[in-house]
Amino acid sequence: MTTKLFGTKVPRVEDQRFLRGKGRYVDDVLVGTHAGTLHAAVLRSPHAHARIVDIDVEAVLSLDGVHSVWTYDDLAGAMAEPLPLLIPHPALTHGRTQYALAKDEVNYVGEAIAFVVADDRYIAEDAVDRIRVDYEFLPPVVGIDAARAATHLVHDDVPGNVGARMEQKNGDAPAAIAAAPRKLSLDLTIERSSCQPMEGRGVVARWDPDVGRLTVWSSTQTSTGVRGCIAARLGLDLANVDVVTPDVGGGFGVKINHPWPEELLVPMAARVLGRPVKFTEDRREHFISSAHERGQVHHVEVGFDDDGRVLGLDVQFWHDHGAYSPYGLIVPIITATQLLGPYKPGAYRVVFESLFTNTVMVTPYRGAGRPQGCFVMERTMDAIAAELGLDRAAVRATNFIQPDEFPYDHGLVFQDGRELEYDSGDYPASLEKIKALIGWDDFPALKAEAAKEGRRLGIGLACYVEGTGVGPYEGAHVHVETSGKVKVAIGLTTQGQGHATVFAQIVADELGVPIEDVEVVSGDTRKMPYAVGTFASRAAVMSGSAVHLAAKATKAKALRIAAEALEADVEDLEISDGLVRVRGTDTTLALGTVAVLSNPLRYAFDEASKLATQFVVGDPGKPPVAKDDEPGLEGRDFYSPQRATFASGMHAVIVETDPDTAEITIVRYAVVHDCGKIINPMIVEGQIHGGVAQGVGGALYERMEYDESGQLQNASFMDFLMPYVTEVPSTIEIDHLETPSPLNPLGIKGAGEAGVIPGSAAIAAAIEDAEGITITAMPISPSELHALRLTKETR
């Protein structure tokens, strides 16, 4: 009998291929001289803010091996228009996007100016170096403080550098704070950082003039989005553009933005030149021209009572969205709404301004605004506890939404335009689990013992709620082959989340087949042309639900066909181990045979197909394919939620700070996580481990260091610090809580971003506990901690 797989630790089916070096990435597509592939390179601005006076490409055109060079003046039609503003919003009053190649002005170091295609990348890079550009320098605006001062403007037509101002509220927060018996103010900062996937961006395109069809391979998180943009800008019918996403070496959000200039320029060049064209981003290009995130400054006013209960919360913050805003206001809206976490403030108001700066644009990075919001809320909770002399966990418990209060409506609008309504959770139970896991109640004694040895230990706690599974929809197609193998197509792309395993588990359970017989294909518009993308912890909820529904439809059809063939009642049939069986008997029919019978044939082309020919099957009194039926044993369905589902979790950490060097060492790290029903605990735990590593990086190491002229000072792995295996906790203690979501058929919630969200908040709290110094900005380095110590000593 087939063992149920949902909820079990099934090893990842995709891993063996990767471990043996058989992954196939964009740069592996159309390689070799036989492919005739040309290679592209991009001239990028060396200045943060300048007018382009003149571009001279004459020296390039005579270089042997160069096929073409484009500047803005060579673009026409829709290609000459600004790149799309992907997510418009009424509050985004001054949205701005760049051109595929800079027109008149550059607004950050790394902006694309010219595009060269040559026989190989070496020649293309040499050609780029020969292009001469005359600039008229303009004063750059770098950082939130400079943007707010507005002494200079990034865009002349954007007053005060303010792209958007948005306010949301529930109740009268200022009045509630004024009337509260206790009040606090805090100023908190999270610095700009970026995701650095092992594989940078890449795109390859091939034009087939015989059929007028374009095939594009892109390392993207949204193959259907890239397809739509290419078709629109190149004036092609959508049906004549195929976008395939092969293996992707990490995404983390940077590859959800689309189209990047190269995703339009490469297909354009392939079509014009009649040869395949490839662009592969190098690491420096990724640093200076791909998206960043995180940078925000917050001012908090909070009113509370003597028990630590929040009566009013008023937050104003400033979000650095860089030189352009293609992804709209998604990041600051998430910060504004997810800041509330598992708590219910008596009244809440949040106001943010999204500001232009002459730096790389901002789009979501794993967590997408939530780490900033969590940092603000959890630092506020710790400040309240310190003010009152109360246990930090107790103050949190006082403010929790209770299990019997779900669904809980915050009275705000979430990033998907729907109400911010939590569907399920049990935050008090999670708190008890995390306290037990980290040894919260026993820590004071441990700290005291360490102090006797001259060691400084501190403990921190952070709670969060994460909106997951946002719409609008995802789909799936399940097809049973005549061999009995099952092919599953989803529109999502995959960047290491284990999609080929978890979705195969769902199908194997529903269809009663061995998981080895299920193959999942993702990110190929030829297989699933309707999809949205992989982001916002939505894959399991969205595609998982769609896969479940499609498999269910396939099963229903299989049972109906088998019932006719076996002259049995559908209710008497079951599917197990790939066999349809009449319960209580030895009568069976292989699922592959059912697939044969599902497709009435005129011609027998093999032994199996003989079973489906016209003189073998069918009722002469009925049409071979019924009116409401179609050939094939397959199912296709879509899942579209009314609103997001909300996962939650809590992290606790013990750190040690060196009294002499101020080095910060993580001693223990614990996580409690609630993502509803868990499909595969091993994969969820893997996601958490990876997220914690990124959270540690965001708390202690990773930042984008711009100087006042807008030059990125640490645009390499020599200078951009990331945690090594020596800095990431070797053991992360994990416990799960399952509060099923009522919003989807599987009761699941997302898990992909969980591990990273509370990292900075928890580690800041632990450092503060160890040092007795208030921590208000992250990331924090040993030198910064040392400076804080000196400041404390001089007070």
Contacts of 483 (CB under 8 A, 6+ apart): 592
Range name among 401-410, 465-474, 619-628 with the lowest pLDDT average = 619-628
Residue positions counted in the chain: 795
Averaged confidence pLDDT in the chain: 95
Task: Specify the residue for token string 């018996």.
Answer: 181
Strand partners, 735: 672
Q: Tell me the per-residue pLDDT of 727-782, one tens digit each, with 9 for 90 and over.
A: 999 899 999 999 999 999 999 999 989 889 999 999 999 999 999 999 999 999 99
**pLDDT at residue number 318:** 98
Going edge to edge, which strands form the sheet with 132-137? 105-106, 50-56, 132-137
**pLDDT at residue number 435:** 98
Helix, strand, or coil here: 554?
Answer: helix
Q: Tell me the per-residue pLDDT of 221-270, one tens digit each, with 9 for 90 and over.
A: 999 999 999 999 999 999 999 999 999 999 999 999 999 999 999 999 99
What does the block give as tokens for 768? 């503060």
Longest dimension (CA), the chain: 98
What is the CB neighbour count within 10 angstroms for residue 331? 30
What does the block give as tokens for 586? 């030895």
| DSSP codes of every residue in 652-668 | EEEEEE-TTT--EEEEE
* CB of 332 closer than 8 Å to CB of 317: yes
pLDDT tier for residue 139 given thresholds of 50, 70 and 90: very high
pLDDT tier for residue 626 given thresholds of 50, 70 and 90: confident
Q: Rounded to whole angstroms, how far apart are CA atoms 739 and 426?
A: 7
On the question of pLDDT at 1 being above 60, the answer is no
**Alpha-helix runs per DSSP H in 160-250:** 173-179, 223-234
Q: State the amino acid at position 34 in one-letter form.
A: H
Q: Where are the beta strands (DSSP E) in 537-597?
A: 573-576, 579-582, 588-590
Q: Tell me the per-residue pLDDT of 332-351, one tens digit each, with 9 for 90 and over.
A: 999 999 999 999 999 999 99
317: part of which helix (H) or strand (E)?
strand 310-320
**pLDDT at residue number 3:** 66
On the question of pLDDT at 35 being above 90, the answer is no
451: part of which helix (H) or strand (E)?
helix 443-452
Q: Tell me the per-residue pLDDT of 262-319, one tens digit each, with 9 for 90 and over.
A: 999 999 999 999 999 999 999 999 999 999 999 999 999 999 999 999 999 999 999 9
**pLDDT at residue number 605:** 82
| DSSP codes of every residue in 243-255 | EE----S--TTTT
Full 3-state SS string of 497-541: CCHHHHHHHHHHHHHCCCHHHEEEEECECCCCCCCCCCCCCCHHH
Measure CA 179 to chain center.
41
Residue 329 burial by CB count (10 A; 0-12/13-18/19+): exposed, middle or buried? buried
How far apart are the two ends of the chain, measured CA to CA in Å? 72
pTM value?
A: 0.96
Q: Rounded to whole angstroms, how far apart are CA atoms 190 and 375?
A: 8
Measure CA 545 to chain center.
19
Contacts of 759 (CB under 8 A, 6+ apart): 371, 462, 651, 691, 692, 694, 695, 696, 698, 699
Scored b (16 or more CB within 10 A) or e, 737-770 reads bbbbbebbebbbbbbbbbbbbbbbbbbbbbbbbb
| DSSP codes of every residue in 3-52 | PP-TTS-PPPTTHHHHHTT----GGGTT-SGGGT-EEEEEEE-SSSSEEE
* CB of 483 closer than 8 Å to CB of 462: no
> In this structure, what DSSP letter does residue 496 have?
S
Contacts of 164 (CB under 8 A, 6+ apart): 89, 91, 92, 93, 94, 95, 325, 329, 332, 352, 353, 354
Q: Tell me the per-residue pLDDT of 683-700, one tens digit each, with 9 for 90 and over.
A: 999 999 999 999 999 999
Helix, strand, or coil here: 490?
Answer: strand
Residue 413 sits at φ, ψ, to 5 deg, of -110, 130
**pLDDT at residue number 2:** 53
* CB of 736 closer than 8 Å to CB of 687: no
* CB of 764 closer than 8 Å to CB of 375: yes
Rounded mean pLDDT of 460-478? 97
182: part of which helix (H) or strand (E)?
strand 182-190
Measure CA 481 to chain center.
33
On the question of pLDDT at 495 being above 70, the answer is yes
* CB of 312 closer than 8 Å to CB of 302: yes
